[in-house]
Amino acid sequence: LLYIGEYVVAKKISRSKIVARDRLLRPEHPNTLTSVSHLRSVLESQGKYEEAEAMHRRALQGREKVLGVEHPDTLTSMANLALMFWRQRRWKAAEDVEVRVMEMRKRVLGNEHPDTLMAMANLAFTLKSQNRSKEASCPLLY
């Protein structure tokens, strides 16, 4: 629904899924957090960044607690939060989160893993967006 522009329906279904999963599973169950993340996508697509950020943070905090800070799903949530900041031109906030994601992915996955390389590229792009080309040219040294 999100991809065909049916935002109102997608938002309604996402909210219903969260309510049901909160009740049947629990608020921090991974499936509930996935529903929260889906709602975040809908809200972000509509430009409702304040509400989307609240959903981002709920999903991220839940995943940190349940899955751990270095779990791939947690790191993906962090990277998505940074992307939302980037879209809003909140460069410092995006950079701070991207540095954290990159450092954890380097530590857990190594410098050559595709997810680590993507984290480096995201950070470089954010630095370049701030006219910090010299730093952007080598995020490994960041």
Confidence at residue 142, expressed as pLDDT on a 0 to 100 scale:
52
Give domain limits for the chain: 1-67, 70-142
Backbone angles phi, psi at 110, to 5 degrees: 95, 165
DSSP letter at 71?
S
Rounded to a whole number of angstroms, the distance between the first and last alpha carbons of the chain is 39
pLDDT tens across 63-86, in order?
A: 999 999 999 999 999 999 999 999
- Contact indicator for 68, 78 with CB cutoff of 8 Å: no
Structure tokens belonging to residue 64: 């940190």
- Contact indicator for 39, 19 with CB cutoff of 8 Å: no
CA distance linking residue 97 with residue 123, whole number of Å: 9
With b for 16 or more beta-carbon neighbours within 10 A and e for fewer, the 103-142 pattern comes to ebbbeebeeeeebbeebbebbbebbeeeeeeebbeebeee
pLDDT tens across 92-139, in order?
A: 999 999 999 999 999 999 999 999 999 999 999 999 988 887 777 775
Of 124, 136, 137, 72, the residue nearest 98 (C-alpha)? 124
pTM, to two decimals: 0.84
> Which alpha helices (DSSP H) does 25-141 contain, by range?
30-45, 49-66, 72-87, 91-109, 114-129, 133-136
Categorize the per-residue pLDDT at 34 as very low, low, confident or very high, splitting at 50, 70 and 90: very high
In this predicted structure, the answer to whether residue 62 has a pLDDT above a threshold of 90 is: yes
Amino acid (1-letter code) at residue 84? M
